[in-house]
Structures are given as C-alpha cells and as structure tokens.
Amino acid sequence: MPATIVVGAQWGDEGKGRATDWFAREADYVVRYQGGNNAGHTILVGDERFALSLIPSGVMYPDCTPVIASGCVVDPEVLLAEIEMLSSRGIDPGKLKLSANAHLIMPYHRKLDRVMERYLGRNQIGTTKKGIGPAYTDKYARRGVRVQDLFDPKIFRDKVEAALEDVNKVLTRVYNQLPMDPDEVIDHYLGMADRLVPYVCDTSLLLWEALRRGDEVLFEGAQGTLLDVDHGTYPFVTSSNPTAGGALVGSGVGPREIGRVVGVAKAYISRVGTGPFPTELHDEVGDKLVELGGEFGTVTGRRRRCGWLDLVALRYSVRINSMSHLFLTKLDVLSAFETVKVATGYVSLGEVYEEFPRQQRVLYNCTPVYRELPGWRQDITGCRSFSELPKQAQAYVEFIEEYTGVPVAWVSVGPEREQMLQR
C-alpha cells in the first residue's frame, strides 16, 4: 500500500493533527519526520482534548504504531512527559518507536533560543523558544548529539563537553549569560536513557519492512510549507523541511513509496510569530477570525495573526509539495460572514503577481487582489456530506479547487472527530 503524506499548506496550525487523526483510523504507522516540540497538534475525542507536541497523532489508536523518525529533534524530557501524560489519560504509548538517529534538543539549545531571540529585539523571529533552531544548527554543524549517543556514556560525555566548550564561550562572551555545567547536563540526560531505550530502533528499516508487507504508512508533517527553511518566508521560518520532500529525507523512505500527498489548509489563514503575511487583517474581521476560530497557539498560547485565504500561497504550496488532494479545515468559522474573500493575486508597485513572488520584498508591501464570494450565514457544523452544505459554501470549496487545480477531498466543519465530510 503506498504511503500518504499529510503536510501543512500554510504557516502551521492548519489542523494537521485532526486530519492525521482522521487518516490514522486505518493506518498501521504514523510518522513524524521533522521538527520537534515546537508543534502543537490538537485532537478532540469526545469531551477530551489532546495537544500533542512530539508523539505522532496515530498514538490515539491502539493498533497504530507512532514513529518519531530521524529528521526530528527530540527533547527527551518533553518526550517522557508526553508519554506520561498519555498514559495517565488512558492512552498507551507503548508501541512508540524513536529513531536512534534523531538529534537531541539539549538544555543549551533552549537557552540559546531564548537569548538569541531577546538579542534580536525588534527583528526576532518569534520562535517557540523550545531550542529547535539551535538543535538543527548543531546537527548541520556536525556537532549535534543523537539519541543513540545516550546509550554510549563515554561518547555522550565527549560530545556534550566539546559542544559546551563552544556554546559556553558564546553564552558568556556574546550574550552575557552564565556558563552551563557539562556534568549537570550529562548526568541529567544519561539519567533518562533507561526510560527511552525501550522505544529506540532503526525506524527507516521498520518502515521499509512495513511498506514491503503492504502496511499503511502515514507521514504527519509539523509546521507548514510557508515555514519551510528552503521554501518558506525565510528567515521567518522554522529550521527544518515540513514539505513533502522532508518526509522522505527525514524518515529514510524513498519517493517511490508515496501514493498521496494531502495538503491541510484552513479555510482562511493564520500565522504565529513574525514575518510577512499579505492577507493579514488588522480589523474587526481579523479579530472575529481569531475569536471564532479560537486562534491561540497550542504550544505558546500566543494570539495567531489571521487573514483571508491566500490562494496565491496555496497554489504555491500545492506545487512545492506536489499535492494530490487538499483537506480543508475550519470551514465552519467562515459561516459568520456576509461575504468571504480569497486572494487571487498581489499588486506591488503597479505590478500584478499571480504566482508566489520570487522576491520576498513583494510580500511585505503588496496589496492582495481579492475575489469576494457570497457567504452562507448558517450553521454548517452538523453537515456530514458535501450536498448538505449550503450552495455558497459548496461554491467556496469549488473555487479553491478550480484555482489550485487539486480536489478538496475532505472538509472539516468543527473540531470534533465526526465533524467531517468526505467527498
């Protein structure tokens, strides 16, 4: 059975967790392939709300194996706390698999993330301060510490000491901070090794064997296409590749295994942190989207910036990921509006852009070209099929399909598991 990639089509928080939860009913494996606990994926099961930061959403189903693959950065303390949290709420994470190659987020990564952001002042990225950027920096500088190093105390000690020798110079001389004690860091981390060892394996081999057996494998992206370090609004991005290509690199699975690439997009758009955002609304419509959509960060609680759906960006996202389908979320939030707008182009200095501009400067000083579509002004949270939707809502979805050239195969009309329609 070819695998499915679920990828964020916007700036994150599109509803990937709930979309993954929908597909995971039938999946044997759900794989996180990049990012770390900067992600916050919300799943509603009855009256219960689960916010997962690291463990793949498939953990909710006892028959599904959640996998944290090599491309992720793992804060072991956070992982153990999440395992604990799930166990205490009756979910068994015992099947979890953790790649031996995944890099560890160290205490000095978290510290660096905090002080670097503070230092940037007005130019800050607005990171989640979880140490993601510094952990990936060390990975690519080839002085990172991996999960497997935890099981070789001598190597672990050597690596941490070497890394801290550099980091402490930076902390003290550049950022005016106290140095960190290597022994404290090493003892704390080695003390967690025993609890992690049952989960550690060669996740690429595991997935290879699963795919050979014909098992269903689902890849769960974190963040979104516009936060991709290569294809997003750099430098206001995360430090990994959330895009579909990242699923392959991050999990050690080749492109011929993939059957579907499902892009998850909100019926409008949001962004947390700084960076350009052409359709951002600073008016009461923006406030209403925040209020009705409950647009506050799952991880940091920050208010998300909101705006009308940006079809220029969405079409770009379809291309970058070679999406086969779209999964549209939060259509119910738009029910409150008399008319709904979508951006089909940008105008900057008299020039019209219908493709995502090559020069990022354009994104800062452009005016979106909007198409205004009739609203539906009725509650759609009870609709369970496309034909039950008011015809204006159907037309809205069809407009997105037409513009992007990709079928919107799933639409969600509320946060609950069953508030879904499949076409």
Among 35, 36, 40, 133, binds ligand GDP (CB under 6 A): 40
Q: Is 41 a catalytic residue?
A: yes
Strand partners, 352: 347
Please calculate the CA angle 232-235-236 and round it to the nearest 5 degrees: 70
Among 52, 60, 104, 227, binds ligand IMO (CB under 6 A): 227
Amino acid identity of residue 372, one-letter, is E
> What is the C-alpha separation between 128 and 71, in angstroms, rounded?
18
> What is the C-alpha separation between 210 and 306, in angstroms, rounded?
40
Do residues 334 and 267 make contact, with C-beta atoms less than 8 angstroms apart? Answer: yes
Q: Is 103 a catalytic residue?
A: no
> 131-150: which residues touch ligand IMO (CB under 6 A)?
132-133
> 329-348: which residues touch ligand GDP (CB under 6 A)?
329-330, 332-333
User: Which residues 6+ apart lie within 8 Å of 283 measured at CB?
Assistant: none
Pick 202 or 280: Cβ nearer ligand GDP: 280
Do residues 399 and 375 make contact, with C-beta atoms less than 8 angstroms apart? Answer: no
Among 294, 364, 367, 402, binds ligand GDP (CB under 6 A): 294
Binding status of residue 329 toward ligand IMO by CB under 6 A: no
Among 57, 128, 225, 298, binds Mg ion (CB under 5 A): 298
Pick 17 or 76: Cβ nearer ligand GDP: 17
Shortest Cβ 373–ligand IMO spacing (Å): 26
Do residues 268 and 375 make contact, with C-beta atoms less than 8 angstroms apart? Answer: no
What is the number of the residue whose Cβ is closest to ligand IMO?
273
Binding status of residue 185 toward ligand IMO by CB under 6 A: no
> What is the C-alpha separation between 247 and 395, in angstroms, rounded?
33
> 185-224: which residues touch Mg ion (CB under 5 A)?
none
The residue to which tokens 């809205």 are assigned: 396
> What is the C-alpha separation between 215 and 106, in angstroms, rounded?
35
Do residues 68 and 44 make contact, with C-beta atoms less than 8 angstroms apart? Answer: no
> 32-51: which residues touch ligand IMO (CB under 6 A)?
38-41
| 213 to 2, 101, 137, 181: CA distances (angstroms) | 11, 24, 37, 48
> What is the C-alpha separation between 280 and 236, in angstroms, rounded?
15
Among 38, 225, 251, 298, binds ligand GDP (CB under 6 A): 298
> What is the C-alpha separation between 408 and 411, in angstroms, rounded?
7
Pick 240 or 324: Cβ nearer Mg ion: 240
Pick 49 or 195: Cβ nearer ligand GDP: 49
Q: For the window 256-285, what string marks contact with ligand IMO as x by the rule CB under 6 A? A: ----------------xx------------
Amino acid identity of residue 307, one-letter, is G
Indicate which of Mg ion, ligand IMO, ligand GDP, none lies near residue 321 (CB less than 5 to 8 Å, by partner kind): none
> What is the C-alpha separation between 269 and 408, in angstroms, rounded?
16
Among 223, 251, 321, 329, binds ligand IMO (CB under 6 A): 223
Q: Of the residues 41, 103, 231, 325, which is catalytic?
A: 41
Pick 57 or 65: Cβ nearer ligand GDP: 57
Indicate which of ligand GDP, Mg ion, ligand IMO, none lies near residue 333 (CB less than 5 to 8 Å, by partner kind): ligand GDP
Q: Of the residues 13, 21, 28, 149, which is catalytic?
A: 13
Shortest Cβ 270–ligand IMO spacing (Å): 8
Among 15, 35, 58, 286, binds ligand GDP (CB under 6 A): 15
Shortest Cβ 147–ligand IMO spacing (Å): 20
User: Which residues 6+ apart lie within 8 Å of 215 measured at CB?
Assistant: 1, 28, 29
> What is the C-alpha separation between 64 and 25, in angstroms, rounded?
8
Strand partners, 327: 264, 410
Amino acid identity of residue 237, one-letter, is V
Pick 96 or 290: Cβ nearer ligand GDP: 290
Amino acid identity of residue 78, one-letter, is V
E strands of 303-396, at which residues?
Answer: 305-307, 309-310, 325-329, 339-348, 351-353, 367-374
Supply 70's token pair: 């090599």
Among 56, 71, 286, 414, binds ligand GDP (CB under 6 A): 414
Give the catalytic positions in this structure: 13, 41
Q: Interface with ligand GDP by CB under 6 A: which residues?
A: 8, 12-18, 40-42, 44, 294, 298, 329-330, 332-333, 412-415
Q: Interface with ligand IMO by CB under 6 A: which residues?
A: 8, 12-13, 38-41, 125-128, 130, 132-133, 222-224, 227, 238-239, 272-273, 298
